[in-house]
Amino acid sequence: MTTDDKKHAGDSILEKPVSRRDLLRLAGVGGAGLLLGASGVGAIFGAKGSTALGAAKPSSEDQIDFYGKHQAGITTPPQDFLMFASFDLTTNSIDDVRKLFKSWTEASAAMAKGVMIGEVNDNPNLPPTDTGEAAGLNPSKTTITFGVGPSFFDARFGLASKRPAVLADLPAFGGDELREEWCGGDIGVQVSANDMQIAFHAIRNLARIARGKAVLRWTQEGFQRTGGADSAGATPRNLMGFKDGTGNPDTKDEAVMNEVVWAQSGDGTPWMAGGSYMIVRRIRIRVEVWDRSTLGDQEATFGRHRDSGAPIGSKKEFDPVDLSRKDGKGKPLIPVNSHVALARGNGSVKILRRSYSYSSGMDNRTGQFDAGLLFICYNRDTRKQFIPMQQKLGQMDALNEYIVHNGSAVFACFPGVREGGYIGDTLL
Amino acid sequence: MKTKLAAVMLASAVVFAGCGSNNNGADQAKEASTNTEQSASKVENWDEITGQYRDFALDQTDKLVAETDKFVQAVKSGDVETAKSLYAPTRMYYERIEPIAEALGDLDPNIDARENDVEEKDWRGFHRIEQSLWVNNTTAGAEDYASQLLDDTKTLRALIETVEVEPSLLVTGAVELLNEVSSSKVTGEEERYSHTDLYDFAANVEGARKIYELLKAELNKQDAELEGQIGTSFDNLEQALATYKSGDGYVSYTDLKEEDTKKLSQLLDALAEPLSQMGTILGA
Ligand code: HEM
C-alpha cells in the first residue's frame, strides 16, 4: 500500500459526512475500525478494491454536484436509468411546502454525493433515517431535478400571481389517449442515475420525507442501454430500434442552451431565470404492430436509416438533414410526413429531449407489452417550442400509427440551488 | 409468570407477520431484548404510563370476553342474523390491543387467523365462524369453534394479567397497529367474507391513539413539533374515517372505491411515519 493510499483511507473515515461506502467499510471492520488504523482499514477494503465496487477512492467523476447555477439532470448527459415521480401536495400550508423543499434539498444533496440521508441511522429504538438500499454504493452520477406543475399555482398557496405564463396545462393533441393515472401533479421529480436501485432509493426516500405533506401521484421507471453495454457512448436506440437523440442541440454550447433550454430573466418570470420547462409524455409504442412493418416502412416513418441513424439517402448518423433532397422521381428522400421532417420543420425551433424507454409489464386487456418511451424534454418556452411541434406531430406524424400518448405532465423546473439555499427558494 | 412483553413484541413482528406460525418466538425474543434494555432513560414516570396502558388492555379484554360470550351464544343458538350483527363490533376489542395478543404465543392465530394462515386442521377463531356465517349463511358446524373462541379469549384475559408492559411495547405497538391496517385492512383482506374491515381499521387506529395519548405529555416535552404532527395526522385520518360511518358501525368495504382506499392509505402512511419516530423518547 502506498503512502497516498494510506493517507486516503485515513482521511475518508474522518471526513464528514461519511460516505455510504465508508460506512460499509466501517461496518465491515466493526467498532474497532478506527483502532485498526489507516492501514488496517485500507487493507480490508483493498481486498475488495479491484472488484465490482470499483476504485477505493470515491471518484469525483461518478458524482454530479446537486448545487449549481442550473439544476443538474437537464443538460447532464443522460445516465443509464431514470425514475420519474409526480407528487401531489396534501398540505395547504406554504410553510409546510417550504419545509418539505428544504428537507428534500438536504436529502438530495446527500444522495448526489452518495452519503446516507440524515443522522439517525444507528439507534435501535428508531427506524433509520435512510432506508439503506444504497449504502456502500458509489454516487453513480445521481441527479435529482425538481419542478412544479400548473396546479401548484392554484388557490391553495396564494401563488397564482407567480405562475409563469409558459406553465399551463397542455392543449389536447391529435392522437392523445391520456389516462388520468399517468397525468399531472403538483411537483415533478426526475431522478437519473447509472444504477436503478439508487434511482429508486432516491424517490422512495423523497416520498418518505414527504409523508404528511405530499403523496405520490404517479411514477414511471425508465432505462436505456447502459454505459457498460456501450462504453463508446454512441447514441442509444429506443425500443423501435432507432438511434434516438441524434438531432438534439449541443448541450455544451452555452449560447444554444440559453436560446433553447434556460428561461432567461427577461422572459417574464424572474424567479425562473436559469430554470427550464419540462414536458413529460408517457408514450406507449405498439411494439407488436411495429415489429411486423417492413424495414422500408420503418425508415420512412422516421426519415432516417435504422442501422446507421443517417438521414435517408445519407451515409453517416450526423450527416446534415436536407429535407429538399429528392429521389429520381422527384419525391423527397425524407418523406414529408416522417417524424424527423415534421419535428425539424425549418430547423428554427428546437427542444432538448431526454427520454428513456419504459417497460411496465403487460397490458392485461390485450396480452401485449405496455412498453414505450417516457418522453421528457426541456425547453425555454413551451408555447413556442413543444406545443407547436407536437401539434404538427399529433396531426400528421407517420409515427402515430405505432404510438399512443397516454400520460402527460408539465413542470417549471427551478433554477439551480446555491449551497445554503433550497429548491424553489426564488419562488417561495 | 411474568412475560417481558417489550422483547416479545419485537419478535412478534417477524414471527407472526400475517401467517400466525410462532414456533421460534422465544429465541427471537431473547435476541430482541438486548436491543431494548437501555430504553426508558428519558422518561421518569414510565411506571405510571405503562400501568395505565395495562389497565386499558385489561379493560378491553374484559369487554372482549363479555361480548364474545354474547356472540358465541348467538352462534350456538343458530341465530345467524344476531351473530352477524355482533361479529364486527366484538372484534374491535381485540383489534385495539392486537399487538399484545400477538405477542402471547398461539393465541393470536387461534383467535384471529384467516383461512390459509394456518393449516386447515388448526384453523379456528373469528374468521372460521365468519366464513360459516357469510359464505354458508349458517351457524351449523360453527358451534365448536364458538366454544373454543370463548375459551381462547378467556385465556387471553388471564395472560394479560401476567404481562409486564415495557416502554418499548408502547412505542413499537402503536406503529404495529397501523401496520396491521395498512397490510390487511385497507386492502380488504382481513374480513374477506363479511367485508367489515373498516371496524378493524377504526379499532386499530383507536388502539394506536390510546398509546399516543399516554405518551403525549412526555413526547411534547422532548419534541413538541413531532407530537403536534402526530396529533394532526391522527385527526386527519379519523376525520376521513368518520365519513364512512353508518349507524353505530361502518359501511362495507365493498362500498369503497379505489380513490377512497387510496386516500385512507395515504393518510395512514402520513400518520405512521411520524408515529414511528416516537422512539425518540426512549433515548438512543
Ligand atoms: C414514442 C415516441 C417517439 C419516438 C419513438 C421518437 C423517436 C425519434 C427518433 C428515432 C428521432 C431521430 C433521431 C434523433 O434526432 O433523435 C427523433 C427525432 C426527433 N424527435 Fe422524436 N420520437 C418520439 C416522440 C417525439 C415527440 C413527442 C416529440 C416532440 C413533440 C419529438 C421530437 C423530436 C425532435 C425535435 C427530433 C429531432 C428532429 C431533428 O431536428 O432532426 N419526438 N425522434
Q: What is the pLDDT of residues A111-169, one digit of tens each?
A: 999 999 998 888 888 999 999 999 999 999 999 999 999 999 999 999 999 999 999 99
Does residue A231 belong to any structural domain of this protein?
Answer: no
Is A172's pLDDT higher than 80?
yes
Residue bearing cell 430504553: B39
CA distances from A306 to A287, A291, A301, A311, A321 (A): 16, 13, 11, 9, 15
Burial annotation A64-86 (CB, 10 A radius, 16+ → b, else e): bebbeebbbbbbbebbbbbbbbb
Contact assignment for B270 to A127 by CB distance below 8 Å: no
> Per-residue pLDDT for B1 more than 60?
no
Q: Is residue A16 part of a domain?
A: yes
Say whether pLDDT at A250 is over 90.
yes
A310 domain-assigned: no
Which residue puts its alpha carbon closest to atom 34 of ligand 1? A343
CB contact under 8 A, A125 and B39: yes
Nearest alpha carbon, ligand 1 atom 20: A343
Radius of gyration for the alpha carbons in chain B, expressed in angstroms and rounded: 19
CB A387 within 8 A of CB A170: yes
Whether B243 has a pLDDT exceeding 80, the answer reads: yes
Count other C-beta atoms under 10 Å from residue B262's C-beta: 13
- Rounded distance from Cα A309 to ligand 1 centre (Å): 12
A70-105 pLDDT, tens digit each: 999 999 999 999 999 999 999 999 999 999 999 999
Question: How many separate domains does chain A show?
Answer: 1
> Sorting pLDDT into bands at 50, 70 and 90, what band is A9?
very low
Does A389 score more than 90 pLDDT? Answer: yes
Q: If you measure from the C-alpha of residue B207 to the centroid of ligand 1, how many angstroms do you get, rounded to a whole number?
A: 56
Cα A317 to averaged position of ligand 1 atoms, centre (Å):
14
Q: Is the pLDDT of residue B187 over 80?
A: yes
Which residues in chain B have their CB less than 8 angstroms from residue A211's CB?
269-270, 272-274
Assigned domain for A41 exists: yes
Substitution target in B169, B234, B262, B266 with the highest count of A β-carbons within 10 Å is B266
Per-residue pLDDT tens for B134-163? 999 999 999 999 999 999 999 999 999 888
Indicate yes or no: CB of A212 within 8 angstroms of CB of B273. Answer: yes
- Are B229 and A125 within 8 A, CB to CB? no
Is residue B175 within 8 A of residue B277, CB to CB? The reply is no
Higher pLDDT, A58 or B181: B181
The interface pTM score, or ipTM, of the predicted complex is 0.76
> In Å, how far is A87's CA from the nearest CA of chain B?
12
With a cut of 50, say whether residue B22 has pLDDT above it. no
Chain-chain contact of A90 with B233 (C-beta, under 8 angstroms)? no
Residue A239 lies in a domain: no
- Spatial CA neighbour of A422 closest among A209, A139, A129: A209
**CA of residue A66 to ligand 1 center, whole Å:** 29
List Cβ neighbours of B49 (8 Å cut-off, separation of 6 or more). Answer: B43, B167, B170, B214, B215, B218
Q: What is the share, in percent, of chain B residues with pLDDT greater than 90?
A: 69
Pocket test for ligand 1, best of A299, A340, A377, A386 (most atoms within 8 A of CB): A340
A285 CB near ligand 1 (under 6 Å): yes
Backbone angles phi, psi at A279, to 5 degrees: -120, 130
Whether A226 is covered by a domain: the verdict is: no
**CB proximity list for A40: less than 8 A, separation 6 or greater:** A29, A33
- The verdict on residue A42 lying in a domain is yes
| Residues of chain A found within 8 Å of residue B280, distances taken between Cβ atoms | 125-126
C-alpha cell at B265: 392509505
pLDDT at residue B168, rounded to an integer: 84
Residues of A in contact with B266 (CB under 8 A): 90, 215
CB B185, CB B31: distance < 8 Å? no
Walk me through the domains of chain B, giving residue ranges and CATH numbers. 44-277 (1.20.1420.20)
Q: Which domain holds residue A18?
A: 3-62
Whole-number Å distance, alpha carbon B109 to ligand 1 midpoint, is: 58
Q: Can you count the helices (H) and strands (E) in chain A?
A: 10, 9
| Chain B positions in Cβ-Cβ contact with residue A124 (cut-off 8 Å) | 35-36
The reply to whether A302 falls in a domain is: no
